[in-house]
Structure formats: C-alpha cells, structure tokens
Amino acid sequence: MKKYKKLTENIIIYLIKKLKDKVEGKKKIMKLMFLIEHYDPEEGKLTKTKSVGNTFEIYYYGVFSREVMECFDKLVKEDIIGGEFPIKLKKEVEPELEDALKRKIDKIIEEFGNKSGFELEIETLNMLGIKPYEKEKYFGLEVEKII
C-alpha cells in the first residue's frame, strides 16, 4: 500500500473522531480531505502543494478524489467506520498523524467543520473560481491545473 493511502485512512479516522456526529456523509469527508490536501489555513488560500498525495478533480459534486474514496470504502469494509449517516467510528482506533498535520487539520475543522457537505461543495468550488453551475465545463480536470 502506498504510504499516502495509510495516511489518508488515518486522516479520515481523525476527522470522524474530532467531528463526532457532525459528519453527515461522504461528501463532507471528501471536501475536508480536499482542504487538508490543498488549503493553507495560515494564508487562507489554496495551494498547489499537496499535504498528503491524493489527486483531486472536478466531479459531479465538486472536488473528488478516487484515492480518498478507495480509503473511505476500505475503512467501511474493514468495519472501522460506518457507511451510514451520520458517519461514525465503529471501532476505537487511534490515528497515527504527525503533530504538524494534526494542527493543520484542527485549524481546518475549526474553520470548516460546522458546514454541511453541500456548503463545503459550494465553498470549495468558489475557492477554485468555479460557480456551481459551471462545474460541467471543468469535469475531470485536476484541481492543480485550476489553482
């Protein structure tokens, strides 16, 4: 398994643990994972530099990563998290993350954690300069080419 996939799984677990019952679905996890990957909370803007290594593209519901979805599905299959709503941990697991990454994730949770998946879809598209009704024009385009 690639190193970033295990890291992605640990971040998903950390998000669910920190947000408790505020994860209404996969969409919210996906948008938060995008922000962890490309948002600099100190600067308040997107960066091309990746924090984890997942590739995001514009898809039906905004930013999407096949790698993140694979990791999410693996955690559901292994019965570590539930796939039902709200998404919760089914096993007590302690995610292994470096302190600097935890601090970044905590800042992102503080700034964006109370928003719904739909609100995050709109906000992340806006950060990329894409109006929700325009996303079809960018369908399949990697976000690094947009940032």
pLDDT in tens, 40-72: 999 999 999 999 999 999 999 999 999 999 999
Give the separation between CA 113 and CA 63, rounded to whole angstroms: 17
Give the separation between CA 52 and CA 93, rounded to whole angstroms: 20
Which is it for the CA torsion 101, 44, 46, 113, positive or negative? positive
Give the separation between CA 115 and CA 39, rounded to whole angstroms: 16
Containing structural domain, residue 11: 3-145
pLDDT in tens, 108-123: 999 999 999 999 999 9
Q: How many domains does the chain have?
A: 1
Let me know how many helices (H) and strands (E) the chain has, helices first: 5, 4
Structure tokens at 58: 């514009």
